[in-house]
Structures are given as structure tokens and as C-alpha cells.
Amino acid sequence: MNSRITRKAISRGILPVLLPAVLLLQGCLGQAIGNDENEEKDDPAIPVEAATVSRGDVAAFYSGTAALEADEKATVVSQITGVVLEISAEEGDYVEAGQILARVETDRYRLQVEKANAALNRLQTEFQRKKELFEKALVSAEDFERVSSEMRAQKAAYDLAVLDLEYTNIRAPIAGFISERLVRAGNLVKLHDPVYRITSYDPLLAVMHVPERELSVLRKGLSVSMVLDAWPGRKFLGEVIRISPVVDPGTGTFRVTAEIKDSDRMLKPGLFGRVAILYDLHEDVPVIPRSAVITEDERSHVFVVDENGSASRRNVELGYERENQVEVINGVKTGEVVVTAGKGSLSEGAKVEVIESGRNPGA
């Protein structure tokens, strides 16, 4: 009986005290849970940078490297033997075809011309006399033919002597710049000794060895641009003038030759540069910065920001790319906003705050 009285006392005395505490604890827990829910609703937006999908022209290029080569170059040789008397052109000089570069001694060759001419005059006189006698049947046909042959042979000897005299003037066979002088005044040059080297800078050629997979897109007449370290900030234009129809089985490449225009004569053979061949152009197409694209497992997607500041993942099909600008064939439309920086931390439906936005800088 005492035990029942004690339990009743506890229930009547303690429970009224504990009940308000329990209710207060439940209220605090409820308030805490409510605060967590509010915090979830008020999560801060993720700061990102974005750009607007714009429209522009995107070109397809084949890019490679090449060294400039001269289309025409010649080694000038002496066509006679003699001592060089005069040098008329130096390295770096521009010369026209036929211009005199050097002179070789002429006295001996002038005397040979005079000797051959004298002999020719004598034979011409004899031929004329024999001809008159032959017409009167006073000499045999054999005698007349002998004199006629001697005269023709002497005429050839005279022409050769005149030619040798002309060869004492060493002339440029092509127009171009003197790239090397190989003789000095007073040197003895012999027949076929090299005297000068001439290089034509118009045109200059860029010869590339292109992988065979490009054979179907490259063709004669395509526009070419070339940049060189020797002239930073300058772009030299040209066009494809030759394409080899043969693929080298050892390297899997074929030769593509482009002519580079240089009206200011700034370029020189041997300069090395980067060449871009324009082979296709898509005009007025949707374009976005390359930085907006995420590629995983050979598939590409972007995050598009809607009017409410939510980011949604969008698969895209890409086209040509040039200078950090990429064509979008499918997936986004002109005027939509795509995330360009901060996209790595985004998920579907994430709230974002665009801290920098603008049009595609390449458009």
C-alpha cells in the first residue's frame, strides 16, 4: 500500500513539473528543424560567369608549319675562261634578267672575232667568184660545193667567236636578289665555274606535308594566311597553287604548296612560320565561347541559365572551332545564357548568380 501511495505521489507531484520542460524541449527542436528548412531554402546562389549565345561566322582551317622557299633560284656560271675585270653586283642587290653582273677580259675574244671575220670575208669573196664561174660552167660542181661548205663553216666559227665575246659579260639569267657572290675582281674563272647565286623572292612558297585525311578538303585556289616570328603581329596572305596527287606511303602525307604574297619584300627564303588554310566557312550560325563546353566520354554539354537563375544541363552538338569560339549545331539557341566559368561545381537545377555576363567575344 505504501508503494502505491508513493507512485501516486510521484505522478501527481513530479509530472506537473516535467510536462512544461518536455513541451519546451519539443518547441526548441521544432524551431531548430524549422530553421534548418529555412536555411535550405535560403542557400546562397553559386557565383558564375556567363556569356550569351550569339551568331557569327566560323571558319574551318587546316593549320601547319612550313619554311619559305624561293620558286626560282639560279647559280650563274661563267661560260668562258678568263680573268674577272669588274664586279657590277653585290650580295643583297636586286637584279633584272639580262643585267650584267661581272665582266671578264675581252681582248683575246675580240681578236678571235676579228680573225674569224677576216677569214669569212675571204671565203665569201671566193664563193662569189666560184659561183660566177660555176654558172658559166667554168668550174666543176665539186669545186663550187667545197668553197660553199668552207664559207658556211667559217660563218659558224665567226658566230661562235662573237658569242664568246658576248659571254665576257656575265649576265643574270633571272630577276631576283644576289644571295651569294663567289668571285672577286682579278680571279681567274674557268668554263662553268659558279660566279653568283640569284634567288627570286616573287613568289615565295610555303610547302607543307599534310596528313592524308585532309586530302578530301584541300584543293587548289584556297586562301592561305601565314604568321612568322620574324614579323610578329603581321599576317601574310596567299593561296594554294599546287597539290600533289601522290601520298607518301612512308609518312602518310602529301605535298601542298602555297604562294605567299609579299609586295613589300619583307619575307626571305628560309623563314619558318605557321600556315592556316581556309577550306570551309559557316556564316551566321550560333556560337559560344569554348570555355562554356564540358566534354565527357566524347560527349559535350553546357549549363544554361534561365530567367529565374537556375542552371540546367544541356547536351550540345558542336561544329567548327576557331580562336576560342565554337559553333553549336544543336542544343542551345541564340540569346540563351551559358555558364563559362564556375560550371565545375554546378548540378542540375542549381541556383546561380551571374557575376559577369556578356556576348561571345568572338562574335
Residues 6+ apart with CB under 8 A from 20: none
Provide the 8-state DSSP code for 248: B
SS3 187: coil
At residue 357, the pLDDT reads: 66
Q: What is the DSSP pairing of strand 350-359 with strand 46-52?
A: parallel
Give dist(CA 95, CA 256) in Å, integer: 30
Question: CB-hemisphere CA count at 13 Å for 126?
Answer: 17
Give dist(CA 324, CA 293) in Å, integer: 11
Q: Is the pLDDT of residue 1 over 50?
A: no
Give dist(CA 278, CA 226) in Å, integer: 11
Phi first, then psi, for residue 79 (nearest 5°) are: -100, 10
Query: Tens digit of pLDDT for each residue in 192-210?
Result: 999 999 998 878 999 999 9
Map 11-26 to HEC letters.
HHHCHHHHHHHHHHHH
Read off the pLDDT of each residue in 54-79 and give the average, rounded to a whole number.
Answer: 92
Residues 6+ apart with CB under 8 A from 14: none
Residues 6+ apart with CB under 8 A from 51: 288, 289, 292, 337, 338, 340, 357, 358, 359, 360, 361
Amino acid at 13: G
Q: Is the pLDDT of residue 251 over 50?
A: yes
Phi first, then psi, for residue 74 (nearest 5°) are: -145, 145
Task: Answer for the pair 332, 304: CB distance below 8 angstroms, yes or no.
Answer: yes
Q: How confident is the model at residue 32 (pLDDT cuts 50, 70, 90)?
A: very low
Residue-range domains of the chain with CATH: 47-57+284-359 (2.40.420.20), 62-69+199-281 (2.40.30.170), 74-196 (2.40.50.100)
Query: Tens digit of pLDDT for each residue in 89-142?
Result: 999 999 999 999 999 999 999 999 999 999 999 999 988 888 888 888 888 888
Give which of 176, 195, 175, 186 is closest to 79, Cα–Cα. Answer: 195
Q: pTM for this structure?
A: 0.61
Length of the chain: 363
Provide the 8-state DSSP code for 231: S
